[in-house]
């Protein structure tokens, strides 16, 4: 019998990638507030679970800075030196990011942001090419045209990426209810219940 290959998020060897959630996209991206809400929840979760976070900005001189995402809660988890990385390359896999992934011993990346069919997809493909497992948040990615999202996620899945949700990832990182951060993370999930439901409706179901 052939063995099954199960791709799981590995606590202690996982990083969060926040892709280009910038001010100039606010009025252009379908469900932008929902993307921001999911990202903020994940950033707070990263601080509670000690998950390193990489944040990039695509051509920030033209597209503006990253929207506020409770980054002050991250402390030393944010890379590098408290600031998002500016880029012109569509993929987030920059030389300094690759170096950090090696230093952290990263085996899996949780990816969310915009746009799903451009920077998110190219980041996913580059990570997979480097044998890093990729978990894309269906309730954390979008594009200007919502119809692009399903196509991009299908392409990423075809290449080997996993498509999941923010709440699922947070529980996978804890593994057990005995985790020392369980109560705090559970509290975060409860306080985010309304925004999570909205993100699922707008970004997964496609409601306007």
Is 40 part of any domain? yes
Question: Model-level pTM?
Answer: 0.93
Catalytic pick from 19, 41, 87, 139?
87
Count: domains in the chain? 1
Is 6 part of any domain? no
The domain of 98 spans 14-205
Give how far Cα 164 sits from Cα of 54, 64, 171, Å. Answer: 19, 29, 12
Catalytic pick from 19, 119, 126, 198?
119
Is 38 part of any domain? yes
Is 195 part of any domain? yes
Is 22 part of any domain? yes
Here the CATH number for the domain that contains residue 106 is 3.40.50.850
Is 174 part of any domain? yes
8 labelled catalytic: no
pLDDT tens by residue, 146-158: 999 999 999 999 9
pLDDT tens by residue, 20-77: 999 999 999 999 999 999 999 999 999 899 999 999 999 999 998 888 876 666 666 6
Give how far Cα 93 sits from Cα of 55, 70, 124, Å. Answer: 11, 23, 9
Is 53 part of any domain? yes
119 labelled catalytic: yes
Is 8 part of any domain? no
């Amino acid at each position: 019998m052939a063995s099954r290959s199960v791709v799981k998020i590995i606590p202690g060897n996982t990083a969060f990638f926040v892709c280009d959630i910038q001010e100039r996209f606010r009025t252009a991206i379908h469900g932008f507030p929902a993307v921001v809400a999911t990202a903020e929840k994940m950033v707070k979760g990263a601080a509670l679970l000690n998950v390193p976070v990489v944040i990039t900005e695509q051509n920030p001189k033209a597209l503006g800075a990253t929207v506020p995402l409770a980054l002050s809660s991250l402390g030393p988890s944010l890379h590098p030196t408290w600031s998002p990385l500016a880029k012109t390359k569509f993929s987030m896999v920059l030389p300094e990011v690759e170096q950090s992934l090696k230093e952290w011993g990263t085996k899996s990346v949780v990816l969310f942001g915009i746009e799903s069919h451009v920077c998110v997809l190219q980041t996913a493909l580059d990570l997979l090419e480097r044998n890093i497992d990729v978990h894309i948040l269906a309730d954390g990615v979008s594009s200007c045209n919502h119809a692009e999202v399903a196509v991009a996620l299908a392409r990423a899945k075809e290449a080997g990426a996993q498509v999941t949700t923010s709440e699922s990832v947070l529980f996978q990182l804890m593994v057990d209810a005995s985790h020392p951060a369980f109560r705090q993370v559970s509290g975060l999930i409860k306080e985010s219940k309304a925004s999570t439901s909205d993100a699922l409706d707008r970004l997964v179901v496609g409601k306007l």
